Structure 1
């Protein structure tokens, strides 16, 4: 397939971005991968090779940073589409809302302004389920109509995703001048990693297999395979029906952490013998969190059931994700392959 249209993919060395690049190259598009430092270009190529890409003829790189607006103008030049995956990710050093919110919101606006200046047709923004389901409670599955209500219970990462996505929609409405926007809101992303440098969302599988997680916190959420997230981005970019729409990316029913562990034990046998077999009470997690700051990020979510529906993406775009079990097993097998277990 030949298609000489160029797509700027931001956060080009990231988990979701690398699979978006693979999908675009396999469908004949040219890709310009935006990365913070061009020193990472070889790592990106290595990951793409792991994902089956043989030729880099249609791949180029641009150096761009979420905190530097002018870098995005150069990056967007000559591009017809943008897939904006770059965003600050959760880390335990983040003490204030500003550590997440300011770079996330500014980054979105920098990219949108640069895209508009370059004459880009459509931007696809990677938001998150974190912009959909927090600060509220529903017995029924969350849909694209739902928005996180920002209050004291909402952690900085979810705040950043909510505020930056709303900023994107406001920009399109007030200053878009005809540029189109689609948004993808993934739940917890699993699936096969392409290198030993992988997304924070796979930590749970690694900790279960390594025996670091002695018991499961009471968390229930949706999961999705990264390959299906990339496919949904592609559909959101290319299909006319996707303009102006949000799409939740989730496969099947929400699972508890204990159910995830059970899938690993069932599918991987003795390799998963360290995976936990019991749930820990919420008070115990809260107590541990006093001494282990990493646990602070999950405390606000304890006991919450976060179900989501992907019906819109399926019916409007014909999207068909893999099963949750396949995403969990693929994540585990790839972590083993890269000697992370």
Structure 2
């Protein structure tokens, strides 16, 4: 019997590689896109570290979100598509359109190709950034009913791009989808095992904490979730009939400050205790520094803000049971130590 084919965009990314790993382990065939075919070796290296030994059901194809080329090949014969690829946030962008346009155009390109190839359903990797931004007086947990308020001031272009890309996806389905199904997954801070020393920028904050690069932390609260659970939620959203037309917050429902994260690491990894920060930076100091340092702008836009989230919908509708935030954070740290990423 022929295996069902799933096309996964952005195949060498942190979330995508765990999705591909679970798809192959569950008996699907996978066609992954990369911007450069040299990344095939990277993908195989990470899958090997994840425990996979057989690559016969994996196809890797070159396709770029910024170009129409190859997307028909990417989707040909696929039952499902998981659109994880996203333009990377630039630190030194000239204007916000540089971040927003590629995200919006890319999602339309992928959906159009999926529709034209008779793909059954697309699962979009959106973000918590499409949910929480622009609600400064929030006191109750964010849910899938919430959307970032783009009319609010000080919204970082990255959150804007995530919001507009997801909105463009739902609009496409409504106006041009012709029966194509869509579900979205909106992860909070994604932690969990990194699978290669060379290619993980996703959890650089854990590396910086353990190496003693961070002397004090800003007062930023966040939800956290394990990448293995994020991948599993994508697969549930892909196959569950009740997931069609829905978005799902991928969160454990816990909220931790950056100091909480440092304290978790300190308790579990005492050999790194001396490197870990014990102090927080006042919010006003972070905001003042961000005026001249573009790298701090995203942080400055969220310091001191409420960050509670609920995973009630994913739990009740899809029976999704994530690991704890602590498990996810310690898995990141341990994998980085094991792979020699932490110096």
TM-score greater than 0.5 by the shorter chain: yes
Instruction: Decide whether aligned partners of structure 1 residues 326 and 3 sit closer, same or farther in structure 2, where only a CA change above 3 A counts.
Output: farther
Which segments of 5 or more consecutive residues in structure 2 lack a partner in the other structure?
A: none
Q: State the TM-score, normalized to the length of structure 1.
A: 0.97
DSSP-derived class of the 1:279 partner: strand
| More displaced stretch, 238-247 vs 69-78 | 69-78
> Is residue 78 of structure 2 the alignment partner of residue 79 of structure 1?
yes
Flag the 1:272–1:69 CA change in 2: closer, same or farther, 3 A: farther
CA distances 1:10-35 after superposition (whole Å, capped 9, x unpaired):
00000000000001001100000011
In the alignment, is the contact (CA less than 8 A) between 2:253 and 2:308 conserved in 1?
Answer: no
Residue 145 of structure 1: aligned partner: 145
> Which residue matches 2:116?
117
Q: Quickly say closer, same or farther: Cα 1:7–1:332, change in 2 above 3 A.
A: same
Worse-superposed segment, 330-339 or 11-20 = 330-339
SS in 1 for 2:183: strand
Q: Counterpart of 2:5?
A: 6
Distance 2:42 2:61 in 1: 14
Partner-residue secondary structure (3-state), 1:167: helix
Residues 3 and 30, structure 1, Cα contact 8 Å, conserved in 2: no
Give the corresponding residue for 1:202. Answer: 203
- CA-CA distance at 1:283 after TM superposition: 2.1
Q: Secondary structure at the match of 1:124?
A: strand
C-alpha distance in 2, partners of 1:199/1:311?
30
Contact 2:143 2:311 in 1 (8 A): yes
The unaligned stretches of length 5 or more in structure 1 are none
d(CA) in 2 for partners of 1:148 and 1:98? 17
Distance in 2 separating the partners of 1:19 and 1:250: 17
Q: 1:308 to 1:252 in 2, by over 3 A?
A: closer
2:311 matched residue in structure 1: 310
* TM-aligned CA deviation for residue 69 of structure 1: 1.5
Q: Retained in 1: the 8 A contact 2:221–2:307?
A: yes
Q: Is the 8 A contact 1:215 1:277 kept in 2?
A: yes
Decide whether the 8 Å contact of 1:3 with 1:28 is kept in 2.
no
Deviation at 1:192? 0.8
Deviation for aligned residue 1:92: 1.4
Q: CA RMSD in A?
A: 1.3
Instruction: Provide the residue aligned with 2:96 in structure 1.
Output: 97
Question: Tell me, what secondary structure is at the counterpart of 1:305?
Answer: coil
Match of 2:299 in 1: 298
Aligned residues: 340
Partner of 1:23: 22
**C-alpha contact (below 8 Å) 2:92/2:294 kept by paired residues:** no
Task: Report the Cα offset of residue 142 of structure 1.
Answer: 0.2
1:119 positional shift: 0.6
Q: Residues 90 and 99 of structure 2 are in contact (CA less than 8 Å); yes or no, is this contact kept in structure 1?
A: no
- Between the aligned partners of 1:234 and 1:272, the Cα distance in structure 2 is 38
Alpha-carbon separation, structure 2, partners of 1:338 and 1:322: 22
1:167-216 CA deviation, whole Å, 9 max, x = no partner?
Answer: 00001111111110000000010111011244544121111111111111
Question: Retained in 1: the 8 A contact 2:14–2:202?
Answer: no
- Relative to structure 1, is the Cα distance of residues 107 and 83 closer, same or farther in structure 2, using a 3 angstrom cutoff? same
In the aligned structure 1, how far is the partner of 2:277 from the partner of 2:332?
A: 17
Distance in 2 (alpha carbons) for counterparts of 1:252 and 1:130:
16
Asked if residue 181 in structure 1 is aligned to residue 182 in structure 2, the reply is: yes
Given that 1:4 and 1:30 are in contact with CA atoms closer than 8 Å, whether structure 2 keeps it comes out as yes
Q: Give the 3 Å change call, closer, same or farther, for CA 198–254 of structure 1 in structure 2.
A: farther
Q: Judge conservation of contact 1:136–1:149 (CA < 8 Å) in 2.
A: yes
Which stretch shifts more, 245-254 or 191-200? Answer: 191-200
CA–CA distance in 2 between the matches of 1:288 and 1:18?
36
Could you report, residue by residue, the CA deviation over 1:86-120 in whole angstroms, capped at 9, with x for unpaired residues?
00122312232122111100100000000011110
**For residues 257 and 297 of structure 1, what CA distance do their matches in structure 2 show?**
15
Alignment of 1:1-341 (within 5 A): 4-137=3-136, 138-151=138-151, 152-341=153-342
* Structure 2 CA distance for aligned equivalents of residues 245 and 21 of structure 1: 22
CA distance in 2, matches of 1:95, 1:128: 23
1: CA distance between counterparts of 2:289 and 2:12? Answer: 33
